[in-house]
Amino acid sequence: MREIEKINHTGEVPVMEPQRQFYFMDLAKQYVTQISRKKGRPLTFHVTTFGCQMNARDSEKLCGILETVGFEEIDSEEADFVIYNTCTVRENANNKVYGRLGYLSGFKKKNKDMMIALCGCMMQEPEVVEKLKQSYRFVDLVFGTHNIFKFAELLVRCFEEQKMVIDIWDDTKEIVEELPVERKYSFKSGVNIMFGCNNFCSYCIVPYVRGRERSRKPQDIIREIEKLVADGVVEVMLLGQNVNSYGKNLDTPVTFAQLLQEVEKIEGLERIRFMTSHPKDLSDELIEVMKNSKKICRHLHLPLQSGSSRVLKEMNRHYDKEHYLALVEKIKKAMPDLAITTDIIVGFPGETEEDFLETMDVVRQVEYDSAFTFIYSKRTGTPAAKMENQIPEDVIKDRFDRLLKLVQDISAKKAGALTGSVQDVLVEELDEQQEGLVTGRLSNNSVVHLPGDVSMIGTIVPVHLKECKGFYYMGEVAE
């Protein structure tokens, strides 16, 4: 049991956000100071992120608050405060968290001041919270996706209540701006443009755990990016479950293409990426804006999920094979140098060999630069979980292997198309494998290794792409 002297809350607790959270950050800071004095050393934290770019961005917000209240980040889970930001898109994501919690409890036995927190998508599932209450009593704090902005307030409750604090909301309309963020990279950043999803693809749990679609106001997004640029950021990744439906529910509706044009105007910003585009509402306006843009990167992630029109209907995707192929053709015609990547699910309930061959056919026709392939995972509460005719494991495995082979063969064939040319590379980090090299990315998201040093990180340099080695290029700075 932690020994903590309760600090008196002085003054009135603000009702408005974000002022309320700043009030709690101040209190949390006093608790952190108190405990670190007692221990004679600073308190440490570690954030472990599972899942997608949205979670990665949320984790930066958690880090921002933990640093503001006086914790120091360390690279190990043997810290005073450990938080898992969880994912639940597939069942194995959940299993990973349970597995690792067992290992964390060992650290907690050695450090009685240690606090363990869980947040993110998995916490929005009632069965998960029930299981934590029953079998993982050593967890100190559990919260979900809708109230992450209240982290400072929950942290204070954790210091004061000394029992498992659980706060899960079903949904929210609130978007709280201006809270601290600690970015992982100094030169690039994710920027949320919207939260939630209204699409209810029949296999997907995201709409249930992330709630309904809410777009941030364009002014707030632009202001955030301007601040990031002033702080050294040259590349932003605009984040939303389906960016193509951005702005539809704002008081003054704005399209995603219009937002992109506003972002393009920000001086000092060099590259714009975005994730994810739903094929059902990718507009001609967007294609036009991308084509004419100097900053939008030559990469589009366009999830296919299945190539069978019958399966797509069952998946509630609102497009068919022909529509998807026609869309890709239109996009390729407008931007021949665009890299296209995708997500594909194998083994959706009722998927026949013929359905699967339709998927293979689309992969062959589109020639994706790369593709994420997933085995269908049954998520309780989604319509697909109740569908009859779930596919046996061995059949799925066989299809998955065939698809993966095709995807890899095509990627290998497509890689290297730019060999011999000079392209801009944003240098991102020192090469992990070899000293004296740095690693960066092309506009089309391909990885490039080149001779260089730490001073180049965050800069965009022209690079002669000398050789393609499988999935990456070797190059050197062009004269």
Least Cβ distance, residue 197 to ligand SF4 (angstroms): 3
349 is a contact residue toward ligand 5AD (CB under 6 A): no
Q: Which of 444, 379, 201 is nearest to 305 (CA)?
A: 201
Q: Annotation-wise, does 87 bind a ligand?
A: yes
Least Cβ distance, residue 390 to ligand SF4 (angstroms): 19
239 is a contact residue toward ligand SF4 (CB under 6 A): no
Cβ neighbours for 472, distance < 8 A, ≥ 6 positions apart: 446, 447, 448, 449
Which region among 131-139, 193-201, 432-440, 459-467 touches ligand SF4 (by CB under 6 A)?
Answer: 193-201
Which region among 73-81, 201-209, 321-329, 399-407 touches ligand SF4 (by CB under 6 A)?
Answer: 201-209
312 is a contact residue toward ligand SF4 (CB under 6 A): no
Q: Which of 301, 196, 270 is nearest to 427 (CA)?
A: 270
Pick one of 22, 107, 138, 374: the residue that binds ligand 5AD (CB under 6 A).
374
376 is a contact residue toward ligand 5AD (CB under 6 A): yes
CA distances (Å), 53 to each of 7, 49, 84, 222, 274, in order? 37, 10, 15, 20, 11
242 is a contact residue toward ligand SF4 (CB under 6 A): yes
Q: At what angle do helices 151-161 and 19-39 cross, to 10 degrees?
A: 40
Residues 258-297 that bind ligand 5AD (CB under 6 A): none
243 is a contact residue toward ligand SF4 (CB under 6 A): no
My answer on whether omega of the bond before 14 falls inside 30° of 0, hence cis, is: no
Q: Which of ligand 5AD, ligand SF4, none has residue 207 at its interface (CB below 5 to 8 Å by kind)?
A: ligand SF4
Largest CA distance in the chain: 68
305 is a contact residue toward ligand 5AD (CB under 6 A): yes
The answer to whether the Cα torsion of 219, 221, 222, 228 is positive or negative is positive
382 is a contact residue toward ligand SF4 (CB under 6 A): no
DSSP 453: -
By beta-carbon proximity to ligand SF4, the closer residue of 44 and 86 is 86
| Helix (H), strand (E) at residue 71 | none
* CA 45 to chain CA mean position, Å: 21
50 is a contact residue toward ligand 5AD (CB under 6 A): no
Least Cβ distance, residue 206 to ligand SF4 (angstroms): 4
- Long-range pairs for 399-403 at CB < 8 Å and ≥24 separation? 399/346, 399/347, 399/351, 399/356, 400/346, 400/347, 400/373, 400/375, 402/360, 403/344, 403/346, 403/356, 403/359, 403/360, 403/363, 403/373
Q: Which of ligand 5AD, ligand SF4, none has residue 241 at its interface (CB below 5 to 8 Å by kind)?
A: ligand SF4
Q: Which of ligand 5AD, ligand SF4, none has residue 68 at its interface (CB below 5 to 8 Å by kind)?
A: none
317 is a contact residue toward ligand 5AD (CB under 6 A): no
The torsion angle over the Cα atoms of residues 32, 36, 37 and 38, rounded to 10 degrees, is 110
**Residue 432: Cβ within 10 Å count:** 8
Q: Which of ligand SF4, ligand 5AD, none has residue 374 at its interface (CB below 5 to 8 Å by kind)?
A: ligand 5AD
The token duo for 74 is: 């360390």
**Residue 385: Cβ within 10 Å count:** 15
The count of residues interacting with ligand 5AD (CB under 6 A) is 12
My answer on whether omega of the bond before 88 falls inside 30° of 0, hence cis, is: no
Q: Which of ligand 5AD, ligand SF4, none has residue 133 at its interface (CB below 5 to 8 Å by kind)?
A: none
96 is a contact residue toward ligand 5AD (CB under 6 A): no
Q: Which of ligand SF4, ligand 5AD, none has residue 278 at its interface (CB below 5 to 8 Å by kind)?
A: ligand SF4
Residues making up the binding site: 52, 87, 121, 197, 201, 204
Residues in contact with ligand SF4 by CB under 6 A are 197, 199-201, 204, 206-207, 241-242, 278
Residues making up the binding site for [4Fe-4S] cluster: 52, 87, 121, 197, 201, 204
